[in-house]
């Protein structure tokens, strides 16, 4: 019996509808992927080469002054503007969006698997509501704008930095967390949900997550800074942030050209502690990494060396080898005055910087003795005791006596211009006779006077002491100033 025509054509019509549906799905998939590529840059969206799919990195929009609290051995709080992105890897099946949902995994560095499981269920719910239509953009908007409120996360966000290594069974049990719906209501099944295999935590739970979070935040801040335009407060030129330097403490901005010249001058002058913000009264200091970017290798090596030396100078238990050819930093044991250089093996006294002399007192040089008296007189009781232990009490007394004697001689005597003997003028005129070498000289200008006519110095109009024989002298009428025997 011949087959009716309409029954013969039925499978052909059905296949035609299926082909039309698949063709429409492919067209909608391609349009959706092209739209995502046009909206997001290459860092945010990467299309897969071998399949209909790709990877989307979603950075959450954090409110201002958002902070994270890291709980570990010590609880610390940090302000952040960015957190590492949620990563959505997806593949579109042939019958998407007409029938099937995209296949995907959702990963994060700072959310737990339980939290990611709750988010996956919310994405599935969005698909059920929008089945038959493309859904990737709706997923992205939800992840970017609503995840924090959906998971009831707010500042300060608590993050666990480290965990001890747990057996596999206990670690899996610890991953099952109580996840709440928006508004604080717990999920079904007693508030606990089994973990979704599509939820992936990218960080080892035993690792310290804090450095990764802070590094990412710093990198994103720098990226935003580089894209903006700033006016340099030195040359008043407008430049992109990528050509500028930001002092992190005060947030003042200057162009790199001006700061490079400023840093180079300071380093050449040895002022490595003065690489601060040029703003008046600002105390912000450039970091070594910022300095390294703006000066050459040779200057940075000098900066690094001087900075280390200045830091060592502030340490009470560090001294330098006194040998000029060495100058190596030496650690000194507590309650000892002996230092041994690790480079040249020189044993020296840490007080006087000479060769180690055991329990003997340090020997003071002539210059040290001259300043020792002032230091001893103005020192506290502990300071005087230290100086007596270092130099010896007898040396201290001698230095004090000699310095007082020298001070009195400097104030009341003048040295003979011929032999240098100290001469004190008690009375009489300004023509003096040295008690040692018998040389005549002028008290005012210390010029040598002739023995034939010593007073010509005061009678000559071209002399600097003309008519000043009695300058500064109280003259009594009965005194005979012209007698050489009274000088």
- Do 415 and 437 meet the contact criterion of CB atoms below 8 Å apart? no
CA 105 centroid distance within chain: 40
CB 294 within 8 A of CB 259: yes
Cα 118 to Cα 110: distance, rounded to the nearest angstrom = 15
CB atoms within 10 A of CB 252: 16
By C-alpha distance, which of 208, 259, 268, 213 is closest to 235? Answer: 259
Strands 67-71 and 157-160: parallel
150: left (phi over 0), alpha (psi -120 to 50) or beta: alpha
Decide if 70 contacts 159 (C-beta within 8 A): yes
Separation in Å, CA 420 to CA 176, 189, 409, 441, 445: 98, 108, 12, 12, 14
Active site residue 429: yes
Instruction: Note whether 396 and 362 are within 8 A (CB).
Output: no
Helices vs strands, H then E, count in the chain = 13, 20
The answer to whether the peptide bond before residue 97 is cis (omega within 30 degrees of 0) is: yes
* DSSP category for residue 445: T
Please give the Cα distance from 53 to 191 (Å, whole number).
Answer: 34
Contact 96, 104 (CB under 8 A): no
Q: Which residues contact 64 (CB under 8 A, 6 or more apart)?
A: none
From the candidates 362, 429, 434, 442, which is the catalytic residue? 429
For residue 271, give both structure tokens. 């002022």
Which residues make Cβ contacts (< 8 Å) with residue 278, sequence separation at least 6? 233, 234, 252, 254, 262
For residue 357, give Cα distances in angstroms to 48, 341, 390, 397: 78, 16, 11, 22
The secondary structure of 344-376, three-state, reads CCCEEECCCCCECCCCCCCCCCHHHHHHHHHHH
DSSP annotation of 339 reads E
Please answer whether residues 278 and 262 qualify as being in contact, where contact means their C-beta atoms are separated by less than 8 angstroms: yes
In 3D, which of 27, 145, 46 has the Cα closest to residue 88? 46
Bridge partners, 199 (sequence order) = 106
Query: Catalytic site residues?
Result: 429
């Amino acid at each position: 019996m011949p087959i009716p025509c309409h029954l013969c054509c039925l499978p052909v019509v059905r296949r035609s509808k299926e082909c039309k549906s698949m063709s429409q799905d492919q067209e909608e998939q391609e349009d959706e992927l092209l739209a995502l590529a046009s909206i997001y840059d290459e860092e945010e969206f990467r299309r897969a080469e071998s399949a209909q799919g790709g990877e989307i990195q979603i950075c959450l929009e954090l409110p201002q002054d958002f902070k994270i609290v890291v709980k570990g051995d010590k609880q610390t709080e940090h302000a952040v503007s960015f957190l590492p992105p949620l990563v959505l890897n997806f593949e579109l099946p042939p019958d998407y969006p007409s029938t099937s949902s995209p296949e995907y995994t959702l990963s994060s560095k700072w959310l737990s698997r339980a939290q990611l499981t709750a988010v996956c269920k919310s994405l599935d719910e969005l698909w059920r509501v929008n089945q038959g239509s493309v859904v990737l953009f709706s997923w992205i908007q939800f992840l970017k704008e609503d995840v924090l409120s959906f998971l009831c996360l707010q500042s300060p966000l608590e993050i666990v930095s480290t965990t001890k290594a747990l057996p596999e069974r206990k670690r899996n049990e610890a991953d099952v967390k109580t996840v709440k719906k928006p508004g604080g209501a717990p999920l079904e099944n007693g508030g606990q949900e089994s973990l979704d295999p599509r939820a992936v935590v990218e960080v080892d739970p035993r690792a310290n997550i804090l450095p990764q979070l802070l590094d990412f935040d710093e990198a994103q801040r720098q990226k935003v800074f580089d894209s903006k335009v700033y006016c340099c407060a030195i040359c008043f030129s407008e430049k992109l942030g990528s050509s500028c330097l930001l002092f992190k403490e005060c947030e003042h901005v200057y162009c790199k050209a001006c700061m490079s010249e400023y840093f180079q001058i300071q380093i050449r002058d040895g002022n490595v502690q003065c690489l601060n913000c040029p703003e008046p009264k600002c105390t912000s200091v450039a970091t070594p990494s910022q300095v390294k970017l703006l000066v050459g290798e040779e200057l940075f090596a000098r900066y690094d060396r001087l900075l280390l030396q200045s830091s060592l100078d502030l340490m009470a238990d560090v001294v330098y080898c006194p040998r000029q050819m060495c100058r190596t930093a030496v650690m000194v044991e507590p309650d000892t005055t002996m230092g041994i250089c690790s480079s040249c093996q020189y044993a020296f006294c840490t007080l006087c910087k000479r060769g180690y002399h055991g329990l003997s007192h340090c020997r003071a040089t002539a210059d040290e003795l001259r300043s020792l008296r002032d230091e001893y007189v103005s020192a506290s009781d502990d300071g005087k005791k230290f100086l007596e232990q270092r130099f010896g009490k007898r040396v201290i007394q001698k230095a004090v006596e000699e310095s007082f004697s020298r001070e009195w001689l400097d104030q009341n005597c003048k040295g003979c211009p011929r032999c240098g003997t100290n001469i004190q003028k008690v009375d009489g005129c300004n023509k003096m006779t040295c008690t040692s070498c018998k040389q005549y000289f002028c008290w005012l200008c210390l010029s040598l006077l002739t023995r034939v006519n010593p007073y010509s110095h005061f009678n000559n109009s071209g002399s600097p002491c003309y008519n000043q024989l009695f300058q500064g002298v109280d003259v009594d009428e009965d005194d005979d100033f012209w007698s050489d025997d009274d000088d």
